[in-house]
Amino acid sequence: MPSLQSRHIDNVYSIATGTALADPATSLVHKSWARCVRDHGLDPSRPTPARILPAHEVRAHQQQLEHFLCTARAGMEDIYRRVADLGYMVLLTDAEGITVDYIGNPAWDDQLRKAGLYLGADWNEAHAGTCGVGTCLVEQAPMTCHQTEHFDATHIALTCTTAPLFDHGGRLTAVLDVSALHSPEAKESQHLVRHLVAIYARMIEDADFLRHFRGHWVLRLGSAFGLVDVAGELMLALDEAGTVVGANSSARRLFAAHPVGTGVAELLRMPLDAIWRLGASASAMPFAHTVLLPDGGEYHASLLAPRVTRRTAAPVAPAERKTPHGVDRLPPLEGIAGDDPAMQSLLAQARRLVDRGIHVLIEGETGSGKEVLARALHGASRRAALPFVAVNCAAIPDSLIESELFGYLPGTFTGGRSKGMKGLIAQADRGTLFLDEIGDMPMALQTRLLRVLSEGEVLPLGGDAPQRVDLAVVAATHRGLSELVAAGRFREDLYYRLCGAVLKLPPLRERGDRRHMIDRLFAEEATAMDSNARLSGEAIEALMAHRWPGNLRELRNVLRLALALCTGREVRVEDLRLPERVAAAMPAAAVIDAAEDTAAESERLLAALRQHRWRVAQAADALGLSRATVYRHMKRLGIVAPRRG
């Protein structure tokens, strides 16, 4: 008796090649089968395992959807809460069919990955054949690909229900997919899921539309009088002149001609002042005039005013502002670097990430300032007055890290606190959780942390009821997480959950603002020690020549010790106690490196000055520096303009 796979292969081949009649009820699927054989050159008799892209390629696909991913993720988490108990998981792919986000039960990871219901899976029809994602991308309409409707026999156990997602401009951007490894045989069992996916697809699109047009008036039109404020089917974004500058998917479908560029009064055939008056109403109201839109329906309206973002500085609790020495623990983003172009570019990116709901991964060498940047991100956010909880995953013993992170209930441990303990994750609720050296977290805890990030819930040890937590998560590492993923020592799905955005801190030796950092940290340490000493010229030269393998942390320690050892009002080179105090004491290779760095810096500055005919202001602009910095470098490097020479 032929197996199910054999019968499926015969059926696909006979219909795809036209030797059997297609079923009108599944014409969309059968049309795709024919396309797979004719256009894509796929062979149904040669099943192909799921194709998972390598990590760096997945990251590139995610970066193309950076802003859309944040909005889509909220919708994915909400729909997953409604279908998880029924055995479903949720995928989001880009317009090429590559899975850029997913939520599933971590206990099923191996099965989901094998089935291709996993991050990085390629569901493009040209590779995977007829499937929920690939065929949805071609048809650009919601659909269910149920079990043996899949082209490839590898996937005939799956049921996949999908809906396309279009951005604010009407461009096909992504596909929302709700899939299950096992399901009832009847396709009708998926009808409710199909309706749910279509509803959430529209919600994600509309949320992205409102985000994009938050600086415009948005006219929402709905057939239900009492729901138009929260569920307007049609949305039109308007400028101050009443011209339509954007329309959501429902509005684009309703109006045969694209409404963008048309006056809203002309489009709706009603006076413009009547539309503006809708904005003064506290609730939805019928149009003053009956409006017959192309579908012949009468609509009610609500007008949403522009949401101009004016962030005011949140009050910061004194305990969060000062260290025991009075040094600011929440430095502003602008204050943690000088005029180094790489740092200024990094800080500009960091400012755009504040309050966007995106998890941040900070990469950098030990001592390069990862926690300082994390605290600055927290201090610049709306959470600044709430807890900043730092967890060093490498410093907590393996035997304690689980209870430290998740906490425990009374009676869980012999010798534990009688009242139990609130874990560090729960302590960070509504604030920021900083996970330092995340690469050293044990694998077993990575699974539990993944649930915290995906579900927004933490379960204390000994507990059976999870607690909701609202967290901004910043992780940091001096190790290459992608290499740890490749080596099987770090969960791939956790890696992608953490690195919504990656900020790479340069080491101090590569920064062009070393003098600024020396001056700033020296001033902070001198203030903390109530010292009025200053750095001598020779000390500054020695500090500038040092390679700083320990980065900013080493610099601060050297300056602190020098101030303690200083006997007068000037910190001399002898007070610095540098391991390689002066060039003569440095290893030969380090001396050569330092000389080459200085020569290269001199050459770059000379080239810019010559190119701009020694106009310092223009050379400074070309280099991305201030004029004062260029003059300072010229003096340090002994560069003199020809007219002075």
Strand partners, 362: 476, 503
Q: For residue 288, is pLDDT > 60?
A: no
Alpha carbon distances (Å) from 496 to 96, 118, 133, 360:
19, 12, 21, 11
CA distance 82 to 89: 10
pLDDT for 507-541, tens place per residue?
999 999 999 999 989 998 888 888 889 999 999 99
56: enclosing H helix or E strand? helix 55-64
Query: Quick one: pLDDT at residue 26?
Result: 67
Angle between helices 537-545 and 551-565 (to 10 degrees): 150
Cross-strand bridge partners of residue 219: 236, 303
Contacts of 617 (CB under 8 A, 6+ apart): 627
In this structure, is the dihedral angle defined by the CA atoms of residues 520, 526, 527 and 533, taken in order, positive or negative? negative
Which one is predicted more confidently, 136 or 618?
136
Residue 596 reports pLDDT greater than 70: no
User: 219-233: per-residue pLDDT in tens?
Assistant: 888 766 555 555 667
* Contacts of residue 90, Cβ cutoff 8 Å, sequence gap at least 6: 76, 79, 80, 83, 102, 103, 104, 176, 177, 178, 179
Note the pLDDT of residue 289. 39
What whole-number percentage of the chain has pLDDT above 70? 83
Q: Which H or E element spans position 161?
A: strand 159-166
Higher per-residue confidence, 176 vs 326: 176
Rg for the chain (alpha carbons), in Å? 30
Q: Which of 44-48, 127-131, 227-231 has the lowest mean pLDDT?
A: 227-231
Min mean pLDDT across 9-23, 132-146, 243-257 is at: 9-23
- C-beta atoms surrounding 200 within 10 Å: 22
pLDDT(595) > 60: no
User: Is residue 405 predicted with pLDDT exceeding 70?
Assistant: yes
How far is 228 from 285, CA to CA, in rounded Å?
Answer: 9
Summary mean pLDDT of the chain: 81
Name every residue whose Cβ is closer than 8 Å to that of residue 277 and which is 6 or more positions away in sequence.
288
221 with 301: CB under 8 angstroms? yes
The larger pLDDT score, comparing residue 592 to residue 315, is at 592
Closest CA to 91 of 119, 67, 114: 119
pLDDT of residue 287: 43
Does the structure show a pLDDT above 50 at 315?
Answer: no
pLDDT of 225 reads: 57
Choice between 460 and 584, residue whose per-residue pLDDT is larger: 460
Q: Which domains does the chain have, with CATH numbers?
A: 7-185 (3.30.450.40), 213-304 (3.30.450), 318-506 (3.40.50.300), 509-582 (1.10.8.60), 587-645 (1.10.10)
User: What confidence score (pLDDT) does residue 60 get?
Assistant: 83
> How far, rounded to the nearest angstrom, does the alpha carbon of residue 286 sit from its chain's CA centroid?
41
* 407-463 tens-digit pLDDT: 888 877 665 666 778 889 999 999 999 999 898 888 878 888 888 888 888 888 888
* pLDDT over 80 at 631, yes or no: no
pLDDT at 63: 78
Statement: residue 7 has pLDDT above 90: no
Segment 242-256 shows an average pLDDT of 85
pLDDT for residue 615: 83
Please say if the pLDDT value at position 499 is more than 50.
yes
Model confidence over 149-165: pLDDT tens digits? Answer: 999 999 999 999 999 99
The more confident residue out of 607 and 283 is 607
Contact assessment for residue 432 and residue 389, using Cβ atoms and an 8 Å cutoff: yes
| More confident call, 434 vs 253 | 434
Q: What is the rounded CA–CA span in Å between residue 596 and residue 315?
A: 48
- Residue 463: the pLDDT is 81
**Residue of 294 and 611 predicted with greater confidence:** 611
Residue 99's pLDDT is: 95
Question: What is the 8-class DSSP label of residue 52?
Answer: B
- pLDDT higher for 322 or 393? 393
Average pLDDT for 105-127 = 91
498: left (phi over 0), alpha (psi -120 to 50) or beta: alpha
Note the pLDDT of residue 112: 92
Supply the DSSP string of 416-428, one letter for each residue.
Answer: S-TT-EE-HHHHT
Which of residues 147 and 267 earns the better pLDDT score? 147
* Mean pLDDT computed over 140-156: 93
Please report the pLDDT score of residue 445 as a whole number. Answer: 84
- Per-residue pLDDT, 412: 72
Q: Please indicate whether residue 400 or residue 360 has the higher confidence score (pLDDT).
A: 360
